[in-house]
Amino acid sequence: MKEYLLPTRIVEAVKAEHTETLFCSKGLYATINYNVEEWVNYAKLEGVGSYIVLDFGKEMHGGIRVIVNWIYKGSCKVRIRFGESLGEVNSSIGEKNAVNAHSPRDFETVLCAYADLTHGQTGFRFVRIDLLEEKYVYFKNIFCENNIFSKKPIYTYQGKDKRIAEIFEVAKRTVDLCTSSGYIWDGIKRDRLLWVGDLAPEVMALTAIYGRLPVIERSLDLAEKLAPLPKFMNGIYTYSMWWLIILADYYKEFNCKAYIKKHLPYIKELLNVMDGLVDEEGNLNREIRSLVDWPTKDSPDEPVGVRVIFLFAMNSAETLLKTFDLPTDIIEKIRKKLLLQSLHVEEKKQVIALKYFATGELTDEEYEKLIVGRAKGFSTFMSYYILTAIASRDEQLAIELMKEYYGAMLDRGATTFWEDFHMEWLEGSGRIDELDPTKKDIHGDHGAHCYVGFRHSLCHGWSAGVAKFIKEHCHD
């Protein structure tokens, strides 16, 4: 669904007049105004060095529909920048790793008089428009053209806790935006792609909120189509394992035997390929790419994390095969090889949580590692698993830590949840909707791996798994 929204705030305007007129819709159509006296009803930018920064209030997915009245000499070259934060929207390519990655968010174009044109297709909250010629432009309106998934939910949080209600709504908005393309993407600025491992928490959120959905099945079908065996999904063998986990969870939720049945030939062949990923001594293949999550990358716990995802996937495959009374010998063979080596976890909370889901066991030592430092060491991708593992011992503490972790993003201005977030980022940092040179930029000054600085996505679907946790554990 497309919706057209006016800006909620003019953050800054230089060499500009009548900008307050942009808060009032004058219609989704271009018109010719012959009455010079009425030009006071239109926002005006004039000359090189003039610009305006708009805030649309929340993260959006799409572009801006610019309806222009009059331009001196008929057209004007402009620069348009989109940003998920104020720091990003005011940055130039290369500054704090600002990029046009997966979607152009910083580009030059031409505005024409009496025109109604849409510019951009990305994830953003803020827009900056700079004039690049010595001309003047009268704007009738600048709308956000937002694409959002629109379906009546079967669940919304109805409890009294306002913080939990806000976390739920922001998680819902995150996954709604990422599902608005017809497939389930991981991000709307960057990672506008179907990443199969990342689908796991997105599918959790979508099924918790909406139930069974064609977009889920369409996305899972596409994942199989794009990875003919012996290829792995997205070139990452743990992502093919996540596909099995998602399928099994989906079947348990909806008893959709006919849907699962059409995937059985692929599942059986995939298990044969997976058997070759672990040798007779229990050693995992290190030549093919695997991933737990980015915070675990290259840590001592990464090999154990891969191993427990493997075990988790074998449990899921067993569920699927037994549903159709199919033999599970190969699963038993793989499982025995995987258990030949230690599952000891040094510190990573997400690996402990995944181990809990894979084995059903959580030792006292592991539980203490989960709660040490409270929300420090949490993972947006793995939040559902971490919180659920903690809730197996202390549900109220898990809810408190959920509020602490996700609430910290809200307190920094989040209207959708982020690709990554660490509690340590709070120290000395400001909000994403404010510019304070005395504070660190929580967007531009943090990040790691492929999401350093402004490349970091502030609307990433894998962070929305918390919606399912809320549905399962937050009832007051």
Give the DSSP letter string of 30-44. ------GGGGGGSEE
**Under 8 Å between Cβ of 179 and 149:** yes
Q: What is the pLDDT of residue 78?
A: 98
Q: What tokens appear for 381 in the block?
A: 């991708």
Q: Is the pTM of this model over 0.85?
A: yes
Beta strand residue intervals within 72-218, DSSP E: 75-83, 106-112, 116-131, 136-147
The long-range contacts involving 96-100, CB below 8 angstroms and separated by at least 24 positions, are: 96/441, 96/444, 96/445, 96/453, 96/454, 97/444, 97/447, 97/452, 97/453, 97/454, 97/455, 98/444, 98/453, 98/454, 98/455, 99/190, 99/454, 99/455
**Quick one: pLDDT at residue 38?**
87
Closest CA to 460 of 88, 80, 197: 197
Backbone angles phi, psi at 60, to 5 degrees: -130, 165
The CB density around residue 371, as the number of other CB atoms within 10 Å, is: 17
Residue 97: name the closest of 451, 373, 463 by CA.
451
Does residue 83 contact residue 77 with C-beta atoms inside 8 Å? Answer: no
Domains of the chain and any CATH numbers: 2-147 (2.60.120.260), 162-419+457-473 (1.50.10.10)
3-state secondary structure of 196: helix
Query: How far apart, in Å, are the Cα atoms of 206 and each of 69, 150, 295, 473?
Result: 42, 12, 25, 17
- Among residues 361, 362, 359, 357, the alpha carbon closest in space to that of 335 is found at 359
Q: What is the pLDDT of residue 476?
A: 77
Q: In a 3-state reduction of DSSP, which class is residue 75?
A: strand
Averages of pLDDT over runs of 10 residues in the chain (476 residues) are 97 98 95 86 97 98 96 95 98 97 96 97 98 97 96 96 98 98 96 96 98 98 98 98 98 97 98 97 94 96 98 98 97 98 97 98 98 98 98 98 98 98 98 96 96 97 98 93
pLDDT (tens digit per residue) in 176-216: 999 999 999 999 999 999 999 999 999 999 999 999 999 99
